[in-house]
Structure 1
Amino acid sequence: MADEGLRPIIIKRVKKPGGGHHGGAWKIAYADFVTAMMAFFLLMWLLGSTTKGNLQGIADYFSTPLKVAMAGGSGSGDATSVIKGGGKDMTRIDGQQKKGEDLTPARNYSLKAAEEELARAEAKRLQVLKDKIEEAIATIPSLQQYQKQLLIDITSEGLRIQIVDEKNRPMFALASAELQPYTKVILHEIAKILNDVPNKVSLSGHTDATPYSSGEKSYSNWELSADRANASRRELVAGGMAETKVLRVVGLSSAVLFDAKNPYNPVNRRISIIVMNKKTEESITKENTEANVADGIEAKQAVDEAVNVSGVVQPGTSQPEQAPQVPLVPATH
């Protein structure tokens, strides 16, 4: 009993970790939860803002991504797709390359449609010019008294302005190409308006069927009509029209009558100013070009035919190697 009283008493103290519910382990779990929720809401937003076709592309991509990437399809290479990449450029170095079906309607460009559109635009421009000339005739005092002598219409060649004679008011002196003072006034006013359009101009002179007094063999209605057309051209240029606008000046005598039933009617004596459309202008320039080319070819053939098979040059011809080369280009006159 004595020994038991001397045995030492050992007290074990267990230290519990401090902090308890104030520890930080819960923060990690909460951060994981927030991250998962953000990913969930982001996924729901993407699914809600994606079209049905792209959703199918996404589903195909996740089921067999390599197949979709190589074969293409809606969503595989489209820059608007949620899943980027696909097509020929897997790395997207050269940008998105859509290999799927292109739903954009193809545009067909027709030369005929373009020409028709240009023709409509030109017809509209000539109509505006016609209205402007008619307004000028109605408002300008110097032209109002000549309304009956100014005839304006649109033909297949373009806008035609005809200045016709009246019984007591001729445009030119009798049997002459000298313009009357009031005819110059008319031409000056028209010249100011013609510069508003880029179209070329053609002038033609006409007479009635009354034969010229000196007869056909010297000076006839053909020469008279041509001189009157050229006199009108000079007056238009003097009135302010650009000289380069004139493409053709012709005299038609009484071949094209205004009043075919009465060849001697004074109205047949007239000047026609045609503001040509593009088709008429091209037909004139093309005809001139083809004529010069044909002349050049015929001249070259004549030189070739002058040389016989043995190489001997016929009298009056030059040596083949020295034969002048005929330029096959349009004349500048």
Structure 2
Amino acid sequence: MAEAIPPPQTKSPKGVLPPDPLFCLKGDMGPIHSLCFPVREYISTCPLLLASTEDGFVHSWNLDTNRRSHKQNMGTSIQAIHSIEEDFITQEKSGTVKLWNLRKSNYHMMKSIETYGGFCKSVLVNAELVVPHDQSTLAIIDVANMEKTRTLNPEIENVGSIMCLTQIEINSRKFILGAYETGHMVLWDFDAAQAVSSIKLIEHTTSISYDALTSKGIVGNSSCVLQVFHIDRNTLEMSIKYETSILNDGINVVKLREDGKIFAAGCWDNRIRYFSWKTLRVLAVLTEHKKPVNDIKFSPFPVSQWNSTIMAAGGQDGVISLWNIYM
């Protein structure tokens, strides 16, 4: 049985003032679904931030000037955006996946493929994309050719639609974690395309984030409860370790910072809560957004303008907030 720890907090701990954002990027974006810090082999900073939106636009923000450098319509309701070297990939709610390349001043679509639609965001594993497929399965797509190469089956009946995905590594092997409407979370061996274990969580899971160092992960859902799970490195069996709660129902996204010190939760009540990963206690409640937060990303490298890594959050209010969370 999971251990229940700290009671819900409605605001930052007593005596602790929440930080102000470094900057807020605004500009007729409408609801934001996905954020991406493009990574280049030859650059050790993060000069750009991409945002995909409900109306099908991708906005490119220059983080050295905090100004929008490019805006382009690339489809309808883009749920996820991924960077792959000089190119990037968009995934639409309709199921259309497109590969884009920058030519002169505009992005041009090179290839596309039709997949199963929905709200579940795809995940990029090297040069392969994992996307929702029919009958509760997942498809793995070779991005270069935009062709399906193999399928991941949950090996469990009547689990409903896939809700969220993430890529993880265990003992230097790649795995995919996916959660379904029923609350079943499945672990797949990516290369073998085989389900290896599963666990039942709270229904309507919305987001998963995993810490390879501790072999633990955090799960958000449509309730007020956050669940912490553990994966045994030898048997690959999963178990629920802890549960903690927030005041109001609904968590759209959870994201662990790479150093394993904190994680952030973007919530339906418009707040971003960040927690100590060690104790699960709320460290601060950020109230910058006026509508629910849909995505949170930590920059993999420093941003020159701020001389540090940052956290970016975007949501239904069409605003991207940038934060420097010292911990």
TM-score class, shorter-chain normalisation, is under 0.3
Q: Which has the higher strand share?
A: 2
Higher relative CO (CA 8 A, sep ≥ 6), structure 1 or 2? 2
Structure with greater Cα Rg: 1
* Superposition TM-score, scaled by structure 2 size: 0.22
Q: Which has the higher helix share?
A: 1
